[in-house]
């Protein structure tokens, strides 16, 4: 018989992981392998394995019992084929002892609906200021023909012919402890003791049908790329009157052509003509809030930073906004007209005279200095 994988290994967490670590690992893996978003053939089996591991490790009492069992040699020492068999033996009412048996509690058909995971793409401005969207989501809804019980109208579930209504069946198996009597939920009735002999034609006995639902979402200002929003009760409908699952929406924010976001602050480069940088100027720049006035002092240098307070990204869920930082980049013209060249040559002569006689080889005003914290050239990084 195949050997079950260690439950901590399935969720990818260490044995000393906290409850929060386990919960985060489960949610991440569930999003990746949920059959609704992953069409790979093995996705459903992997999702069931992940869910089974979380059902044990996510419950402190069951986790403690599993850890105790593992301390006697680890899961590899026990010939169980999968997570469900471990659960049956140790937590589901299975063999509590050598040749003894403990009855499992009969399940009901009422089950909470599964969570649904989706993502939405946002323009940069939509993420900054918030937006209302109507998302089209594939979910399981209650069958309108049978009302969710899975039976043809006018009929009802019958006693399971396999387990006789007990909801469980028993197995004998050998382990390092000897012969163990185990009980497991009946697969025919899923542990409920009842089966649907005359299923509904619309839902084929499942009680739920797949529908496309339009979900209005109010996306708050300040969301960032990768942020997840939980909408309670908007996932798959529960079975036989069970509570619905939740909808998890992951935001994918498109980058902006001008602004770079770092937390709640925005950064951009302010290109300034050489003459304006030297003389100073009142500039009009386009921000996410519209046109803003920027005062540039005379003698501005490349690398100078202008800060516009409150022109960044709103703080999510609270008041206030980040700032906008503009890094000055002085533009030196590459091609000069005849008149422009004469003016610059005249400017050079005036500056040379004002700073004393310089060499006649054109090197006046040039000099070296320590680079300090300047980044290295691109080719040397």
What is the full DSSP assignment across 128-140?
HH-EEEEEEEEEE
Report, as an integer, the average pLDDT of 215-226.
Answer: 94
For 64, phi then psi, to 5°, come to: -65, -40
pLDDT at 366: 47
Q: Please name the fold of domain 1-91.
A: Helix Hairpins (1.10.287)
Band (193; pLDDT cuts 50, 70, 90) = confident
Contact between 365 and 356 (Cβ < 8 Å): no
How far apart CA 150 and CA 146 sit, in angstroms, is: 6
Segment 203-216 mean pLDDT:
92
Q: Which residues pair with 184 in a beta bridge?
A: 169
Report, as an integer, the average pLDDT of 141-165. Answer: 90
The reply to whether 266-357 shares the fold of 107-255 is: yes
Q: Which CATH class is domain 107-255?
A: mainly beta
More confident residue, 148 or 179: 148
Average pLDDT of the residues of the chain: 80
H or E segment to which residue 144 belongs: none
How far apart are alpha carbons 109 and 149 in whole angstroms? 9
Residue with tokens 């100078």: 304
Q: Which residues contact 17 (CB under 8 A, 6 or more apart)?
A: 8, 25
| Residue 260 scores a pLDDT above 70 | yes
CATH match for 266-357 among 2.60.260.20, 3.50.50.60, 3.20.20.70, 3.40.50.720: 2.60.260.20
Q: Is 185 or 265 the better-scoring residue by pLDDT?
A: 265
Residue-level pLDDT at 94:
42
Instruction: Identify the band that residue 378 occupies on the pLDDT scale cut at 50, 70 and 90.
Output: very low
Per mean pLDDT, which range of 44-48, 78-82, 103-107 is the poorest? Answer: 78-82
Cβ(290)–Cβ(348) below 8 Å: no
Q: Judge whether residue 54 has pLDDT over 50.
A: yes
* Range of lowest pLDDT (64-68, 101-105, 123-127): 101-105
Domains in the chain: boundaries: 1-91, 107-255, 266-357
Per-residue model confidence as pLDDT tens digits over 293-319? 999 998 889 999 999 999 999 998 888
Q: Are 160 and 239 in contact (CB under 8 A)?
A: no
- Spatial separation of the C-alpha atoms in residues 34 and 117, rounded to whole Å: 8
**Half-sphere exposure in the Cβ direction for 257 (13 Å, CA):** 1
Tens digit of each residue's pLDDT (9 = 90 or more) over 343-364: 777 877 776 676 655 554 544 4
Q: Is the pLDDT of residue 139 over 50?
A: yes
């Amino acid at each position: 018989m195949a050997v079950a994988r260690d439950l901590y290994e399935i969720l990818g967490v260490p044995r000393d992981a906290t409850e929060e670590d386990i919960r985060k690992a489960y949610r991440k893996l569930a999003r990746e392998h949920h059959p609704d978003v992953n069409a790979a053939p093995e996705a459903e089996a992997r999702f069931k394995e992940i869910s089974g591991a979380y059902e044990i490790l996510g419950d402190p009492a069951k986790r403690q019992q599993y850890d105790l069992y593992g301390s006697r040699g680890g899961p590899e020492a026990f010939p169980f084929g999968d997570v469900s068999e471990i659960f049956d033996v140790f937590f589901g009412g299975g063999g509590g002892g050598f040749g003894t048996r403990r009855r499992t509690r009969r399940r009901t058909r009422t089950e909470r609906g599964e969570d649904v995971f989706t993502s939405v793409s946002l323009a940069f401005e939509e993420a900054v200021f918030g937006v209302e969207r109507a998302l089209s989501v594939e979910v399981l809804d209650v069958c309108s023909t049978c009302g969710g019980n899975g039976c043809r109208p006018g009929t009802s579930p019958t006693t399971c012919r396999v387990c006789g209504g007990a909801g469980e069946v028993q197995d004998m198996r050998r382990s390092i402890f000897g012969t163990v009597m185990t009980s497991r939920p009946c697969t025919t009735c899923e542990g409920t003791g009842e089966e649907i002999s005359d299923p509904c034609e619309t839902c084929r006995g499942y009680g739920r049908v797949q529908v496309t639902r339009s979900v209005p979402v109010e996306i708050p200002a300040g969301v960032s790329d990768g942020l997840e929003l939980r909408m309670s009760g908007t996932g798959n409908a529960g079975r036989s009157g069970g509570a619905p699952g939740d909808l998890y929406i992951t935001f994918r924010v498109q980058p902006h052509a001008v602004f770079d976001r770092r937390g709640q602050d925005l950064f951009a480069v302010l290109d300034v003509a050489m003459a304006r940088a030297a003389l100073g100027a009142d500039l009009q720049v386009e921000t996410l809030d519209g046109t803003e006035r920027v005062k540039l002092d005379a003698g501005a240098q490349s690398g100078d930073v202008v800060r516009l307070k409150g022109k960044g990204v709103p703080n999510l869920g609270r008041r206030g906004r980040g700032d906008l930082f503009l890094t000055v980049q002085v533009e030196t013209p590459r091609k000069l007209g005849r008149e422009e060249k004469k003016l610059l040559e005249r400017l050079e002569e005036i500056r040379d005279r004002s700073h004393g006689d310089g060499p006649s080889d054109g090197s006046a005003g040039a000099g070296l200095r320590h680079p300090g914290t300047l980044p290295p050239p691109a080719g040397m990084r």
